[in-house]
Amino acid sequence: MKAAYFKEHGGPEKLIYDELPDPEINEGEVLVRVRACALNFLDIWGRRGLPGIALPLPHISGSDIAGEVAEVGSLVKHLASGQRVLVSPGICCGRCGQCLVGAHCLCRSYQVIGYQVDGGYAELVKVPSANVIPIPEGKDFVEAAALPLVFLTAWHMLVTRCQVRIGDTVLVLGAGSGVGHAAIQIAKLHGCRVIATAGADEKLEKARAIGADETINHTKQDFLEECRKLTRKRGVDVVVEHVGEATFEKAMLSLAPGGKLVTCGATTGYNAKVDLRYLFARQLSLLGSYMGGMGEVMTVVKHWEEGRLTPIVDSTFPLQEAAAAQQRLEHRTHFGKVVLTV
């Protein structure tokens, strides 16, 4: 098969487009012929390399996969060759206590397709049969690939971790990102008022188009001051944070008494500053969030099928231009998802 992969860590020039052996499946796995694979910043971190994280090399990135069933293992009875499917990106053991109550992302053996194991920057990928979900009628491969990871992550952050309610005010940082544009839609779905930030006016216009009530250009305005103005100095109920060190302190200060900050990333660095006096005096909650469970994926897919959630596709690139696609992500000029087509 053809694949875009790297044999050593470094810049986008380390991505190679060449032949690799076809994956071989076991009796419980499915071989998917990839038609589209969306990018995530996790792909960038994996290619650059992270301290203490050893990825198998050569490595194929790509967590968000849509395509057709090419082959099924002997124990797989619910899927057929040629079926159009998308792939849930988290792999768990399915046997531990966390898995049995549906908290799959708390499984001690939890892995992300395209990160700890090979992913979808390839013509073929093997995945556990439990991770394969039929694509609803009328939905295409590119949009299907743009859905799973970011909408699962944002759903877990807002609904599972923060338990958002009608009337909450939610601040979404980085509205143009995958998680950001998903969080805006999920917050609106739950009857929240949404304040969104981005670094370009055109991104803010797109954020308003998908539901943001107010927007802040963080290159021209101080988002903490603007949040105070927009909430009459009360603060917001929830902050969706994934930017990291550059925004964390002000994000926490944006919270109303009893507010919740939920974070799923540290794109600008992980040494965030926290004033503990402010934390306990205002009774704030700082919540970590990582991916989500299969039940949450199925819920997201249902809302997508019925038109309540829509993944936004920024641009598409052919698989052989994976390096250029990653550079678009790194330059942060995108709004929504960058997708490889195969």
Let me know how long the chain is.
Answer: 342
Give residue-wise pLDDT tens across range 262-303. Answer: 999 888 888 999 999 999 999 999 999 999 999 999 999 999
In this chain, the answer to whether the domains covering 2-147+311-341 and 151-288 adopt an identical fold is: no
pLDDT at 233: 96
In this prediction the pTM is 0.96
Q: Give the span between the Cα atoms of 183 and 78, in whole angstroms.
A: 32
The per-residue pLDDT for 24 is 97
Best CATH choice for the domain 2-147+311-341 from the list 3.30.390.10, 3.90.180.10, 1.10.15.40, 1.10.3720.10: 3.90.180.10
pLDDT at 67 over 90: yes
Every domain of the chain and the residues it spans: 2-147+311-341, 151-288
Tokens of 26: 């076991």
- Specify whether the CB–CB gap between 90 and 105 falls below 8 A: yes
Instruction: For residue range 165-187, list pLDDT tens digits in order.
Output: 999 999 999 999 999 999 999 99
One DSSP character per residue, 163-216 reads ---TT-EEEES-TTSHHHHHHHHHHHHTT-EEEEEESSHHHHHHHHHTT-SEEE
Please provide the CATH number assigned to the domain covering 151-288.
3.40.50.720
Please say whether the beta carbons of 66 and 36 come within 8 A.
yes
**93-103 pLDDT, tens per residue?**
999 999 999 99
27-52 CB burial, b ≥16 within 10 A, e <16: eebbbbbbbbbbbbbbbbbbbeeeee
**Using one digit for the tens of pLDDT, what is the confidence trace for 220-258?**
999 999 999 999 999 999 999 999 889 999 999 999 999
pLDDT at 340 exceeding the cut of 90: yes
Neighbouring-strand partners of residue 34: 67
Share of the chain above pLDDT 90, in %: 95
Per DSSP, the chain holds a count of helices (H) and strands (E) of: 11, 17
Per-residue pLDDT tens over the stretch 14-34: 999 999 999 999 999 999 999
Phi, psi of 79 (to 5 degrees): -130, 150
- What confidence score (pLDDT) does residue 53 get? 86
